[in-house]
Chains A and B, each alone.
Chain A
Amino acid sequence: MSNLAVRLLPVPLFLAAWEAGCRMAESTYFPPPSLIAARARELWFSGPATRLFLTDAAIENFVPSLGRMFGGWLLACFAGIVAGVAIGRSATLSAYLDPLIQFGRAIPPPALVPVFIVVFRDDLRMLLATIVIGVVWPVLLNAVDGARYVDRVQVDTARVFGLTRTQRLVRLVLPAAAPKIFAGLRLSLSLALVLLVVAEMTNGTINGIGYELVYMQQSFDMPGMWGIVALLAVLGLVLNLSFLLLERRTLSWHRLARRAV
């Protein structure tokens, strides 16, 4: 606990320095954090207690954004794991598809936003396509890698004891690949947040966190704009920590087994 307290010490120091710097500079573009926090509270967190203090603006923008992000991420996770395990377990599939995968993952995901705007005229599909295509790669590549290198003795064991295909997949390949797969999932989750904001900032969308960011900028609401940035940082942090917690619970055998060796 005291260790954590020591490690968190730079945070208030940084905030204090930030506050002092902005107050001295007196620039419209760099409002002090206290002002940003007050504006954020006014904009999004001054609603009724029954709605967890969220205002209409918060619900209108954050809920669809989170929905899009998780929707896209989950779709990408599912597709990436299914395809990745299949490719990892099949040398033929792997040989044929590897060049395509290398090509696909080399495309910077935001480059596809204009393409998807033209292809999918409606908002939601454009956003989902951007997120799915952008974040599927870490999941896919890690799943391929994890499924490919299952320990030979474990594979032999499964064969000797006559495990069926389904059993081998569920009881051997997936658990064996899980540490790699989880690493991919975590990477893609933070990437999903990035792509969500990028896609929502382009014209066409009518709400969302990215939309709000551009809207604040265009209406010269500097504290509001900074507020969105800070909010995104907190959101990213919370997502990563929650995922780490889930990972620790699911993969406790992996952590402990490695420590035991």
Chain B
Amino acid sequence: MLEITNLTHTYGRGSGAHRALGGIDLKVAEGELVCIVGPSGCGKSTLLRSVAGLLEPTGGQVLVDGRPVTGTPDGLAVVFQDYSRSLFPWLSVGDNVALPLRRRGLDRAARREAAGEALDAVGLAGASSKYPWELSGGMQQRVAIARALAYRPSLLLMDEPFGSVDAQTREDLEDLVLRVRGHHRMTIVLITHDIDESVYVGDRVVVLSRSPATVTADLRVNLPAPRDQIATRELPDFVRLRAEVGRLVRGTRPPGAAVLSDPSSN
């Protein structure tokens, strides 16, 4: 589905150059939900922008469905962290969700219907005629998720999607993502700096090093589904995995501890 080979990116040139990505290798299978964690400023967003075709990497290759990424791939949607800037304030919620659907060749009625369904799926059935700025932050991010869902992508990228909402809303939105991925057959790559979240939501957690970022670990999360905010988080496996990811992100390791699973097993 998604295949990243030796991806490098350097901002600027000469002495002021900043090497953000130092050779990333990553494969994501169809239908997987992969969380990418790493210390802040490690180049997570650069990675996402390269996959989305918003940035031309200086080296390496990104394949989506076997095709190299040049420009933004057709079956790809992004949920940005900054919902208030990603939604257009001059369009109603319904129009925001329906806007990209022209590319899908839908007529006006079909676009409206698809937008309505997507809003329904995120629990905002009655909000279609409201404007984004009339909604709370969490609701705005739901609209952004609805927009991505209505677009029916095969690959959904989420760039710290819950970084700007409060804890309660964050949990609701995590569960929302887990719920909708079941209905729509999507591959999801979710970037986060929240270690708990990565283990709770992901099928796999990929840990990046400090910049220039490389993949330091690729852990499979074998927690039972459906996940539950309370029960899942008290499972010994969850606690152990969270600690493991935490150490990897900080770059410290307890003496004698082994990595739970190694990247080659995937």
Contacts and interface: CB of A to CB of B under 8 A. Distances in A.
Do A and B truly interact?
A: yes
B259 interface: no
Interface in A160-183: 160-164, 167, 171-172, 175-176, 178
Interface string B153-171: 0000000000000000000
Interface residues of B, number: 28
Interface in B197-244: none
A151 B99 contact: no
A160 B89 contact: no
B131 A162 contact: no
Contacts of B72: 159-160, 162
B11 interface: no
Nearest to A159: B72
A160 B99 contact: no
Nearest to A250: B90
A26 to B, nearest CB: 59
Interface in B49-78: 49, 52-54, 72, 74, 76-78
B86 interface: yes
Contacts of A175: 88, 90
A51 to B, nearest CB: 42
B134 A260 contact: yes
Interface in B18-65: 49, 52-54
Interface string A128-170: 0000000000000000000000010110110111111001000
B99 A154 contact: no
Contacts of A157: 78, 80, 86, 88
A165 to B, nearest CB: 13
A260 B85 CA distance: 13
A179 to B, nearest CB: 10
A171 B91 CA distance: 9
B77 A254 contact: no
Contact count band on A: 20 to 34
Contact of B80 (A156, A164, A253, A260): A156
A153 B82 contact: yes
B99 A162 contact: no
A180 to B, nearest CB: 14
B224 to A, nearest CB: 34
Contacts of B108: none
A256 interface: yes
Contact of B103 (A151, A153, A161, A253): A161
A100 interface: no
B86 A171 contact: no
Interface string B136-161: 00000000000100010000000000
A163 B131 contact: no
A24 interface: no
A52 interface: no
A261 interface: yes
Contacts of B132: 257
Interface in B100-141: 100, 102-103, 131-134
A162 B84 CA distance: 20
A164 B85 CA distance: 20
A159 B54 contact: yes
A153 B100 contact: no
A253 B131 contact: yes
A261 B74 CA distance: 33
B85 A153 contact: yes
Contacts of B90: 175-176, 178, 253-254
B85 A161 contact: no
Nearest to A156: B54
B131 A256 contact: yes
28 contacts: A153-B80, A153-B82, A153-B85, A154-B86, A156-B52, A156-B86, A157-B80, A159-B54, A160-B53, A160-B76, A160-B78, A161-B77, A162-B72, A162-B103, A163-B100, A164-B102, A171-B88, A172-B88, A175-B88, A176-B90, A178-B90, A253-B90, A253-B131, A256-B131, A257-B89, A260-B133, A260-B134, A261-B84
Nearest 7 CB-CB pairings of A with B: A161-B100, A153-B85, A260-B133, A257-B133, A257-B89, A175-B90, A162-B103
Interface of B: 49, 52-54, 72, 74, 76-78, 80, 82, 84-86, 88-91, 99-100, 102-103, 131-134, 147, 151
Given A161-B103, A178-B90, 4 more contacts: A153-B82, A160-B77, A164-B103, A257-B89
